[in-house]
Structure 1
Amino acid sequence: MKNKYIYALLVPVLLTFFGCEDLDTAPLGEDITTEQKAEVVENDPSKAAAGVNGIFAQFSQYAPNEDALGRVNHFDIGYGSVMMFSDANGCDVVQEDNGYNWMSGSLEYSDRDYTSRETQIIWNDMYAIISNSNNVIGSIDPATEEPVTQFYLGQGLAARAFSYWVLAQLYQFNYVGHESALCVPIITAENAIETSLAGGAPRATVEEVYTLMLSDLNTAITLLKSAEEGGSVRSDKRYVSLAVAYGLRARVNLTMHKYAEAAADATSAIAASDATPASIDEVSDPYFSNIEDSNWMWGVFVAETDDVVASGIINWISHMGSFNYGYCWYSGGRQINKALYNSISSTDIRKGWWTDENSYSANLTDIENAFMVDYQYRPYTQVKFAPYKGEIETSTNANDIPLMRIEEMYLIKAEAEAMSGADGISTLVDFVTTYRDASYSFAGDVQEEVFRQRRIELWGEGMNWFDIMRLNKGIDRRGGGYPNATMIFNIPAGSDILLWRVPEAEIQANPVISNGDNNPAAVAPSPVSE
């Protein structure tokens, strides 16, 4: 039986939010109205809470696509999969193509085949978040003035905008100049029945998708501001706060090259957040493993009891870590692009986030350095991400996953100020000298320097691909230290191979998307000399 991708994922927006024992016992044609569901939520907000928890549970899951793919795949872990695929597509997270590295398809771009496991995982995972977001949005009166339900509605809108922001940059090129190009289908709580009757939804244009994102975030910001004023705030950082919503809108505006708006939103995010950049002392040891750290604004909370942790190796840090048990011990781990590493000043504390050409990091203890040698990691291997609770060789892979850090907001602010005619250099220099390199100075192209700083600061956090696409960059791996000659590419900006394709299963199941509507089938890139 065909997998009804959008059809199966998104029709349930009006069918399953509360569960059949609560509301949905009638067939589709007799389903209760959105207004009736909203009334139930107003009377019992815990039902909306369950829906919101369902959204964020999608970010970290054990093999959510097992049924669709016919087996458990060890890189099928929720949003962490998207992070690892896109980083492997780039040129900064260097890794060996071997029998223990599940990212080989993304390293070589065979993931662009529309029957690949990767393309099905990305499509399913992001639309599952959209589906759960629509479940929440469709069950709450948009005019609600109750702080708790305002908070829940804000969660649904912000999460949906985030998902579309991710999808838009995987399935089409940068916003400016491609506004009329086909992007991804738009599914909302309002059009779910129409979509179900049509059997699916067409690909919307880039402009239409970004219009929805901004509308969602504008409303979410209004709701979350009102909710916070009314005393309804998030219980932990897995949820979206007002500051995070500003941060998401800053990302969208930056992607659209609306620089003045991006600078204003980044400034608002910093002001609204209680997060502060990690200090030079804090990042002088392996770090970035705990959602409670002061610099995290938003993240994926992973508990020791989660299935991904119980699996031992089917989790994000298993693939990404160096010190913890997992695929990292056998795949060769993850290295930084050698040319990027060499661009980092010796006075920058981040130089020690990776080992040097002699497999040594000044940020590590003697025991930690010996560990890196004993496990035969190559030079330039990451030691940025600490093992769970700082325990070397731990088999408890319960690391949280960063989705937004306050440092990113300072970098957005610097770039956006410079590109809109303000003094971005001062913002950039103040940030780097205070928190990363006291000897830092800079004069030149701020946008290019911020791009370099983002490559360093956000390395391994699944953000680099979005910079590549919004800045219309190519993929040049020459001089990067890739261990496989077959993985050294120089892909020009705008090449068709950079775009993901709508999965074949979606084409087959969705009568309003044809093969002719898909992104072009591109030939895999040919290796070039180092």
Structure 2
Amino acid sequence: MKTKYIFASLLVSSLAVTGCQDMDTLPDGGIVTDSQKETVSTLNPERGVAKVNAIFSTFNQAFPNSSALGAERHNDIGYPTVMLCLDSNTEDVISDNNGYNWTGYDLTFEDRENTSLEGQMVWNDLYSIVFAANNVVGSIDEKTEDANEQFYLGQGLAARAFSYWVMAQLYQFNYKGNEDKPCVPLITEKNSADASVNGCKRSSVKDVYTQIESDLNNAIDLLTNAEKGKVKRADKRYISLSVAYGLRARMYLSMHEYAKAADDAANAIKAATSEGIAIASRTAVGKPTFWSVDEVNWMWGIIVSETDDVVDTGICNWPSHMGSLSYGYANYSGGRQISLKLYKEIDDADIRKQWWLDAAAESDGFLSDEQAAFVAKQGYKPYTQVKFGPYNDVVGTTINANDIVLMRIEEMYLIAAEAYAEAGNRAEGEKYFKELLNNRLSSGSQAYLTDYASNPQEAVYFQRRIELWGEGVIWFDVMRLNKGVDRRGAGFPNAECVFNIAKTDDILLWRIPEAELQANKALTAEDSPAWTLPKPVADE
């Protein structure tokens, strides 16, 4: 039977995500009681590992939504689909809408139509994480004292919180002032069975954040206890204590709970430092990089293996779409460029200015001779990104097995810099701000410090746009800071993509897919309101 890969079917299929290794089912078909869960999992630890790995496998998939879409879309690649869509919604990540970039509907905001394929993929990908996480959370005794079980349960809770936090930024305006507005259906291990039969209505923004906060609080406690029991993650695909603090710092920043965000960012840095994670030096980022979780500044990432399906596809993967130095769609789409206005505001003493080609389509001293020759051969236009290096630093490689960053320690420094200042401790915030920039600016440069002194939040937002460019996170800043999208003068090559979207325009919100409205009987047409596409404006 061909099933639609939508909310209702996922509610059912998620119960069997690990097949015969489902922790709730005994070999003879009997059901495990709550009191038996910890014992069964402890005696069969591979079941816990399988369930946890199922969560993170959802982040990295080839064509996971093909049955729902009726075709294999070349931008249907798991969570990186969400990253590509959101970056393309901004004014900072530019590409030519020429058919090869696979984000044309995101550039024009046609992805907001509730029949759009992008809208279906984003919704499905995020709920896939939720359902895989629910499968873990629902199969482990919440009072377990086993360190391995605590680690597994912490993974499920933190991953679920991550996905709901992302959705909270997409389907409603920011937390402050919108607490009682509808957000997304809140599905946990406790109501999934009922929801699969009766559907589930949208929960309020406040209720969604309450669940996120609860999950992260519990995850931090569990991961703390797991570490005391000598259980830590095997690699950076898993969520460590530092990452859990980082996720809660993001959440509190979105809620404008600045003192709490500052403390969590500081705790994330402290915990990450104990793992050997540190800000990447100016020298380290003075060349194309950001392709391996082994890099010293990565806290959390999607680990990609050469044998993964997304790699076997050749060109249906994140490096193909985003990379300028690999083989893939970027070679034909013209790659991704930075906003011209943003680029011009970057100080010349900042090494990050070389993450993009200059006005002559060059990056002297940043690219190797081989890389420069490849860039010239591709005919990339000025301001094209060369931030992300190719897999194994092999220029033009057809093996697109780059790892994909989900969190770096530099973000934590930026959260601390903003949050401490907004909480009234500007001096403390400035310490974090300076420490990051000391690793980006040439020796003795005082660039950006005046901006921080006059308006810390805007100064940090500017730094986030530079430092985290292309990493799928800036849209969350657009929403939490009520920025709107002004593409005038940014350098968009297609007139139909030049907009000045007001911060209150509901085209900024994603729509619940039409297929979901049909499958979830608790939803109505009002839950996915009509859209009015933005009208192009004259460029500057």
TM-score (norm 2): 0.95
Verify: 1:140 aligned to 2:130, yes or no: no
Among candidates 352, 360, 368, match of residue 365 of structure 1: 368
5 Å-filtered alignment, 1:281-360, equals 281-360=283-362
Verify: 1:464 aligned to 2:474, yes or no: yes
C-alpha separation in 1, matches of 2:15 and 2:288: 45
Partner of residue 81, structure 1? 81
Among candidates 397, 402, 412, match of residue 399 of structure 1: 402
Opposite residue 305 of structure 1, the aligned amino acid is T
| Secondary structure of the structure 2 residue equivalent to 1:404 | strand
C-alpha separation in 2, matches of 1:69 and 1:35: 41
Partner of residue 217, structure 2? 218
C-alpha separation in 2, matches of 1:450 and 1:344: 13
Give 1:195 deviation, angstroms.
1.4
Give 1:21 deviation, angstroms.
8.2
Partner of residue 535, structure 2? 526
Partner of residue 178, structure 1? 178
Partner of residue 446, structure 2? 440
Opposite residue 400 of structure 1, the aligned amino acid is D
Among candidates 422, 427, 431, match of residue 426 of structure 1: 431
Pick closer, same or farther for the CA change 1:286–1:15 going to 2, 3 Å: closer
Partner of residue 525, structure 2? 515
Give 1:311 deviation, angstroms.
0.6
Please tell me whether the aligned partners of residues 101 and 331 of structure 1 are also in contact (alpha carbons under 8 angstroms): yes
Provide Cα deviations, 1:392-435, integer angstroms capped at 9, x if missing partner: 11101000000000000000000000100002233212321234
Provide Cα deviations, 1:506-530, integer angstroms capped at 9, x if missing partner: 1011110000122x32211111111
Please tell me whether the aligned partners of residues 60 and 304 of structure 2 are also in contact (alpha carbons under 8 angstroms): yes
Please tell me whether the aligned partners of residues 3 and 9 of structure 2 are also in contact (alpha carbons under 8 angstroms): no
Partner of residue 162, structure 1? 162
Please tell me whether the aligned partners of residues 3 and 509 of structure 1 are also in contact (alpha carbons under 8 angstroms): no
Pick closer, same or farther for the CA change 1:336–1:425 going to 2, 3 Å: same
Give 1:31 deviation, angstroms.
4.9
Partner of residue 130, structure 2? 130
Give 1:16 deviation, angstroms.
4.9
5 Å-filtered alignment, 1:482-501, equals 482-501=492-511
5 Å-filtered alignment, 1:402-417, equals 402-417=405-420
Please tell me whether the aligned partners of residues 62 and 308 of structure 1 are also in contact (alpha carbons under 8 angstroms): yes
C-alpha separation in 2, matches of 1:158 and 1:346: 39
Please tell me whether the aligned partners of residues 171 and 501 of structure 1 are also in contact (alpha carbons under 8 angstroms): yes
Verify: 1:256 aligned to 2:236, yes or no: no
C-alpha separation in 1, matches of 2:473 and 2:288: 20
C-alpha separation in 2, matches of 1:228 and 1:277: 23
Provide Cα deviations, 1:459-506, integer angstroms capped at 9, x if missing partner: 000001000000011100011011111111100002110000001011
Give 1:39 deviation, angstroms.
3.1
C-alpha separation in 2, matches of 1:148 and 1:515: 44
Please tell me whether the aligned partners of residues 9 and 128 of structure 1 are also in contact (alpha carbons under 8 angstroms): yes
Partner of residue 386, structure 1? 389
Please tell me whether the aligned partners of residues 370 and 395 of structure 2 are also in contact (alpha carbons under 8 angstroms): no
C-alpha separation in 2, matches of 1:358 and 1:296: 32
C-alpha separation in 2, matches of 1:32 and 1:12: 19
Give 1:5 deviation, angstroms.
2.4
Opposite residue 109 of structure 1, the aligned amino acid is F
Please tell me whether the aligned partners of residues 414 and 464 of structure 2 are also in contact (alpha carbons under 8 angstroms): yes
C-alpha separation in 1, matches of 2:310 and 2:278: 30
Opposite residue 190 of structure 1, the aligned amino acid is K
Provide Cα deviations, 1:321-367, integer angstroms capped at 9, x if missing partner: 00110000000100000100001111100010000110011311233
Pick closer, same or farther for the CA change 1:22–1:138 going to 2, 3 Å: closer
Please tell me whether the aligned partners of residues 93 and 339 of structure 2 are also in contact (alpha carbons under 8 angstroms): yes
Please tell me whether the aligned partners of residues 4 and 509 of structure 1 are also in contact (alpha carbons under 8 angstroms): no
C-alpha separation in 1, matches of 2:345 and 2:5: 48
Residue range with higher mean Cα deviation, 258-267 or 423-432: 423-432
Pick closer, same or farther for the CA change 1:20–1:446 going to 2, 3 Å: closer
Opposite residue 446 of structure 2, the aligned amino acid is Y
| Secondary structure of the structure 2 residue equivalent to 1:421 | coil
C-alpha separation in 2, matches of 1:49 and 1:440: 49
C-alpha separation in 2, matches of 1:17 and 1:378: 47
Partner of residue 104, structure 1? 104
Provide Cα deviations, 1:84-108, integer angstroms capped at 9, x if missing partner: 0000011111100002120001000
Opposite residue 349 of structure 1, the aligned amino acid is I
C-alpha separation in 2, matches of 1:222 and 1:338: 45
Q: Gaps (5+ residues) in structure 2?
A: none
| Secondary structure of the structure 1 residue equivalent to 2:438 | helix
Pick closer, same or farther for the CA change 1:147–1:25 going to 2, 3 Å: closer
C-alpha separation in 2, matches of 1:527 and 1:23: 54
Give 1:193 deviation, angstroms.
1.8
| Secondary structure of the structure 2 residue equivalent to 1:245 | helix
Opposite residue 529 of structure 1, the aligned amino acid is A
Partner of residue 377, structure 2? 374
Opposite residue 246 of structure 1, the aligned amino acid is Y
Opposite residue 53 of structure 1, the aligned amino acid is N
C-alpha separation in 1, matches of 2:311 and 2:503: 38
How many percent identity over aligned positions?
Answer: 52
Q: Gaps (5+ residues) in structure 1?
A: none
C-alpha separation in 2, matches of 1:376 and 1:244: 39
C-alpha separation in 2, matches of 1:31 and 1:146: 22
Please tell me whether the aligned partners of residues 4 and 506 of structure 1 are also in contact (alpha carbons under 8 angstroms): no
Provide Cα deviations, 1:58-86, integer angstroms capped at 9, x if missing partner: 00100000111111000000000000000
C-alpha separation in 2, matches of 1:59 and 1:394: 23
Please tell me whether the aligned partners of residues 15 and 31 of structure 1 are also in contact (alpha carbons under 8 angstroms): no
Partner of residue 67, structure 1? 67
Residue range with higher mean Cα deviation, 436-445 or 315-324: 436-445
Residue range with higher mean Cα deviation, 5-14 or 55-64: 5-14
Partner of residue 90, structure 1? 90
C-alpha separation in 2, matches of 1:480 and 1:348: 20
How many residues are aligned here?
Answer: 527
Opposite residue 97 of structure 1, the aligned amino acid is N
Opposite residue 248 of structure 1, the aligned amino acid is L
Give 1:373 deviation, angstroms.
1.8
Give 1:44 deviation, angstroms.
1.4
C-alpha separation in 1, matches of 2:119 and 2:506: 15
Please tell me whether the aligned partners of residues 279 and 436 of structure 1 are also in contact (alpha carbons under 8 angstroms): no
Give 1:35 deviation, angstroms.
3.8
| Secondary structure of the structure 1 residue equivalent to 2:230 | coil
TM-score (norm 1): 0.96
Opposite residue 297 of structure 1, the aligned amino acid is M
Give 1:369 deviation, angstroms.
2.1
| Secondary structure of the structure 1 residue equivalent to 2:363 | coil
| Secondary structure of the structure 2 residue equivalent to 1:282 | coil
C-alpha separation in 2, matches of 1:436 and 1:138: 48
Opposite residue 184 of structure 1, the aligned amino acid is V
| Secondary structure of the structure 2 residue equivalent to 1:183 | strand
C-alpha separation in 1, matches of 2:469 and 2:102: 19
